[in-house]
Structure 1
Amino acid sequence: MTYLLWSLPALTVIAAIASGRVNTTSAAILGLGAALPVALGTAPAPFEGGQLGMALARGLWIGGIITPYILGGLLFWHMAAPDRGPARKTAGPRPAEWVDGLARRRRLFFACFLVGPFAESATGFGVGMLGTVLLIRPLNLPPRETMVFALLSQTLIPWGAMGSGTLLASAYARVPAAELALYSMVPVALLMTIWMALYWRSAARAGLRAEAPEYWREAGWMAASLAALAAATAVLGPETALLSAYGPLIVLRFLLDRRPDRPRMWAAARGALPYIAMIAWLVATRLLPGLNRGLSALAEFHPYPDLPGWKPFVHAGSWLIAGALAIAALRRQPRVLATQARAAWATGRHAVYSVFLFAMMAEVLAGAGISQAFADGLFASLRDWTVLITPLLAGAFGILANSGNAPNSLFMSSQLTLALQAGLSVPAAAALLHVSGTSLGIFSPVRMSIAAGLAHGRGQERGVYVLLLPFALAAFGVLLCLALILALSGSPG
């Protein structure tokens, strides 16, 4: 009965979203509302008002760290768009790539599986969805399919935000980050077959059908991309692997798809200059030690030792906002900036609400000791069989928390203990847990809320979840099969 009560907040969120009668923000409010009495009344350790206030404050801090990514990203990408502002809008025929079916489909693949993951790796926190949606918005696709395509930009999350999640997981697992990321390539590559099937089905539903050779071409590009990512990970580690591998691939794909002459190439480079400059600067702030130390020393706020701190001059959200201000100043468009700021808030507010509410819910349950007790109880009762349900546990926590950090912190130590006792590969066991918690976050209500806002699909979240359900089950099935193979590979002794 106690475990059922502890599960009530999560079950409330799931039931609310499944009902189709409330949006993600309302579901998060209901989940937090359920978490408060559960934490105060059934916590395994004393948990009172002061501790509750601290947990809520921690959740607010997490939300405050993430919010600039969402709103800053929206503002920057809109301000940087080549056709943004009245002075830049022109009438005339639509470009051929927006009309020709094959060109439209190739632009879609380019946005979902190259530009989106690249932007996510450079910045993190869903900014890849923004880049994908802005690239495909001229295609005028239905909102539901656009939401799916936005989510597909999140398929390489272990390398997102400069591999920060993988670095944290490697610390929990005591496995070198590059080794953990390489082992993670196996489940990620297998899951990619599911994401490609989802892409093909959604493209067909959106009216962007193709002949068999194009399917093979897309599969070949994906295989080459993953191979390049694996090689870069082995050499450079997860922090810069995706940027290094995908940067040249993006340029090559652009040249092959568009085959531009010199004027078109120059026009494309000029239109992409704000994005190129921003990503290059963000990469520099993270990879150049002297620059990073200098900017970090200017200001730092770190009220909670175990939570991310805020360094305003290193935070990508700060620079995205600064970039938007710089563009407005250079183009002398203060009114456009004000308009786009209001539009960014209108588009991103529900995602912001969801981030704050889910973060507070997670912190309340963690602060009350419920999350850890729930995990410890499952491991104690299932023992060696826990390895087989790791994908379910980590995936479920990753979906609800919109982060792999929660399942990694809760389950990694027990997972490693079981792996050592059963003679299993420690890097493989750690990678399975890590990928389950991070990659299945594609189904997170927070990400869904961001996708709905970007695609103007507010209120259609339930319909998208219905479309995603078979693929979610397939993803869990693949991870469960990997868990079974891992368990059978053990040799006691």
Structure 2
Amino acid sequence: MTPLLALAPIMLAITLLILKRSSWVSAAAGVIAAGLAVIFFFPTSMSDLLESGADYFPLILEVALILLFGMVLARLLEAAGSMGEISAWVESAAPSRPLGVALVVFGLVPFAESVTGFGIGVTIGVPVLRLLGCSLRQSAILGLLGLIAVPWGALGPGTTVAAALTGVNVDDLGVATAWINAIPVIIVATSVILVMRPRLTSCLGIGAAAVLMWAGILAANILVGMAPAGIIGSLLVIAVMGTLFIIRRRRTGFTHRLGLAVLPYTTLTVGLLIARALQSAFPSLLTQIVASPPFWLAAACAIAALRVTSRSSVTVSAVRSWLPIGAGTAAFMLMGWIMTTTGMSAAIGTLVPSGLVLFTPWLTAIGAIVTGSNTGANSMFTGTIDAVATASHVPSLPVVAAGNAAASLAALAAPPRVAMSVQMAEPSAPASTNDIAWVQGRALAVAGVNAVALGLWVQFMA
């Protein structure tokens, strides 16, 4: 009976989301239900709550600021026409459709997603794919497949949450997730080939782009740290493929406007790397603040704002859009903290038969499809996954990493994200129900195959 009571807050939140209530309302209901469960069934001392909260609550603030500045940056770049400049360069530089698709799926979309999050990479990638000559359905599903670097999306708040709830080092979890993310990368590369059906040479090019992105993200996690790894890995793909395209066409296509368009991204990436090196050499509260993702996202916003005349109205609009998202994310994080700190997550873990860790990626995958983010999924289920790993006498780190990777790719199958992708493929007309169903089915298939593969890996290889 106790495990079912512990599961009630999560089921309530999921039910409300399925009934199309907003994320913050659903999460707030889950928080209230979790609080009541603690009072009546999972009593916890105030000293334990205060000690745990002192470490966790600053993380809630950091994640909220990352989401805020990420959304503001996306809106400012859109208003400045920056992504239009970058998209036009990709369309003009690509020597063939399949290689252009590879650059978008493994470079452009992951890069935009790593910087801003929220599925912004899809809104950028889908129009470029249409310009490359892909059909509406191809563009929609390929744009979604570009969400392959979501563990590091928006500088990795979802991964940070998973690390905090399990007590592991966030960079260690980043490395573990990068290793196991080879499975989603293989699945996505295979899916791209099945959608495009290119010639053998183009298949090899698609595979090479996928390997390059995976290796770049892995190396960045090991050498630099979790937060900027997605940016670095996807930039590597853009740099290598872009250079090859330039050599082939014997012209760069670089313009002053293109340089201004990428300046905010350059500031964010270079600034974050330098600040992290500075923090490593001179650890202090000041260098910790300067090395934080929100600091450099804010700096990138300031630079992007210089090219926007209506910056105030754009910023206000972005803040209004952020409010429900920020509130919902913070509430999900709060619910996850309550359930982990009070032992509710461990109680839910007893519902999974000891030793069957292959089911754990399904928990976060389902959570991501429902909430639309790996942050929400990790907040709800990471504590449970950790408890299952402990009960099964399996190292927690690879199991949590598998759950993180499963949730991250499954976010592409969230119904609102699928509908957005289809609409972006044909913005001049209402999205067709048949097109949405076609894309949704394939997105769910990718998420399901990925969850099965990750489950089998963590069951027999971890």
TM-score under structure 1 length normalisation: 0.68
1:421, distance to aligned residue in structure 2 (A): 5.1
Tell me the distance in 2 between the aligned counterparts of 1:349 and 1:454. 22
Structure 2 residue 258 is the aligned partner of structure 1 residue 272: yes
3-state SS of 2:352 partner: helix
1:256 aligns with 2:244: yes
Aligned to 2:267: 281
Q: Sort the Cα spacing of 1:104 and 1:479 in 2 relative to 1 into closer, same or farther, 3 A.
A: same
Shift in CA distance, 413/363, structure 1 to aligned 2, threshold 3 Å = closer
1:273 shift after superposition: 0.8
Q: CA shift at 1:470, angstroms?
A: 1.9
Task: Give 1:219's match in structure 2, choosing from 185, 207, 212.
Answer: 207
- Whether 2:328 is the aligned partner of 1:327: answer no
Equivalent position amino acid for 1:481 in 2: L
CA pair 242-82 structure 1, distance change in 2 beyond 3 A:
closer
Distance 1:385 1:351 in 2: 43
Q: Distance in 1 between matches of 2:209 and 2:276?
A: 37
Does the CA contact (< 8 Å) of 1:70 and 1:352 recur in 2?
A: yes
Q: 1:230 Cα shift?
A: 2.5
Deviations 1:125-157 (A, max 9, x none): 434334424543533644443332332222112
Alpha-carbon distance in 1 for matches of 2:384, 2:83: 51
Q: Letter of the aligned partner of 1:289 in structure 2? A: A
Partners in 2 of 1:376 and 1:83 — Cα distance? 48
- The answer to whether residue 450 in structure 2 is matched with residue 443 in structure 1 is no
Within 2, Cα distance between the matches of 1:222 and 1:144? 21
Q: Cα 1:291–1:327, aligned 2, differ >3 Å: closer, same or farther?
A: farther
Identical pairs, percent: 18
> Is this contact kept in 1: 2:271–2:296, CA < 8 A?
no
| CA distance, structure 2, for counterparts of residue 128 and residue 406 of structure 1 | 19
- Offset at residue 468 of structure 1 (A): 1.6
DSSP 3-state at the match of 2:243:
helix
Query: What do the CA deviations read for 1:406-455 (whole angstroms, capped 9, x no partner)?
Result: 44455445544554554423332232232233332222346446545644
SS of corresponding position for 1:155: helix
Aligned residues: 425
Question: Could you tell me how far apart the structure 2 residues matched to 1:137 and 1:387 are?
Answer: 41
Partner of 1:138: 131
RMSD: 4.7
2-structure distance, mates of 1:285, 1:75:
19
Amino acid at match of 1:479: L
> Tell me, which stretches of 5 or more residues in structure 1 are unaligned?
17-26, 48-58, 85-93, 301-308, 329-333
Distance 1:239 1:110 in 2: 22
Partner of 1:55: none
* 1:88 aligned residue: none
Shift in alpha-carbon separation, 1:430–1:285, aligned structure 2, 3 A: same
- Give the CA deviation at 1:260: 5.9
Q: Relative to structure 1, is the Cα distance of residues 71 and 170 closer, same or farther in structure 2, using a 3 angstrom cutoff?
A: closer
* Structure 1 residue 76: Cα displacement: 0.8
Q: Hey, what does 1:66 align to over in structure 2?
A: 67
* Change in 2 beyond 3 A, CA 1:11/1:440: same
Q: Which has the larger radius of gyration?
A: 1
Check the 8 A contact 2:364/2:407 in 1, yes or no: yes
The residue aligned with 2:452 is: 477
From 225, 247, 254, give the equivalent of 1:237.
Answer: 225
Distance 2:189 2:211 in 1: 11
2:11 is the alignment partner of 1:10: no
Alignment of 1:55-454 (within 5 A): 66=67, 68-70=69-71, 72-81=73-82, 103-133=96-126, 135-139=128-132, 141-202=134-195, 204=196, 209-259=197-247, 264-265=251-252, 267-289=253-275, 314=295, 316=297, 318-319=298-299, 321-328=301-308, 334=309, 355=325, 358-359=328-329, 362=332, 375-385=345-355, 387-413=357-383, 415-420=385-390, 422-445=392-415, 447-448=417-418, 451=421, 454=424
**How far is 1:178 from its partner?**
4.1
Displacement of 1:73 in angstroms is 0.7
Shift of 1:259: 2.9
Q: C-alpha deviations, 1:49-106, integer Å up to 9, x for none? A: xxxxxxxxxx99987863553354144145234877xxxxxxxxx9996699x62332
Secondary structure (helix, strand or coil) at the match of 1:238 reads coil
Deviation at 1:232, TM superposition (A): 3.4
CA deviation profile, 1:232-284 (whole Å, cap 9, x unmatched): 3323332344444443442221122343666x31x325343123311111124
- Given that 1:452 and 1:458 are in contact with CA atoms closer than 8 Å, whether structure 2 keeps it comes out as no
- 1:362 deviates by 3.9
Relative to structure 2, which stretch is displaced further, 474-483 or 31-40?
A: 31-40
1:158, 1:61 → 2: CA distance?
16
> 1:298-317, CA deviations, whole angstroms, 9 ceiling, x for partnerless residues?
xx9xxxxxxxx996xx262x
- Asked whether the equivalents of residues 361 and 454 of structure 2 are also in contact (C-alpha less than 8 Å), the reply is yes
User: What secondary structure sits across from 1:278 in the alignment?
Assistant: helix
Change (3 A) 1:175 1:357: closer
Cα gap change, 1:217/1:250 in structure 2, threshold over 3 Å: closer, same or farther? same
- Structure 2-normalised TM-score? 0.72
Q: AA paired with 1:431?
A: A
Instruction: Indicate if the aligned counterparts of 1:120 and 1:160 stay in contact, CA closer than 8 A.
Output: yes
Which whole-Å CA distance do the structure 2 matches of 1:423 and 1:361 have between them? 31
Q: Deviations over 1:9-59 (max 9, x none)?
A: 424544x5xxxxxxxxxx244994797599579942569xxxxxxxxxxx9
* Contact 1:97–1:104 (CA under 8 A) maintained in structure 2: no
Higher mean C-alpha deviation, range 465-474 or range 373-382:
373-382
Please identify, of 467-476 and 232-241, the stretch whose mean Cα deviation from structure 2 is larger.
232-241
For residues 323 and 419 of structure 2, the distance between their equivalents in structure 1, rounded to whole angstroms, comes to: 9
Residue type of the alignment partner of 2:258: A
AA in 2 matched with 1:109:
A
CA distance in 1, matches of 2:265, 2:217: 18
The answer to whether the 8 A contact 2:145-2:188 is kept is: yes
Whole-Å Cα distance in 2 between the matches of residues 402 and 201 of structure 1? 25
Structure 1 residue 231: Cα displacement: 3.1
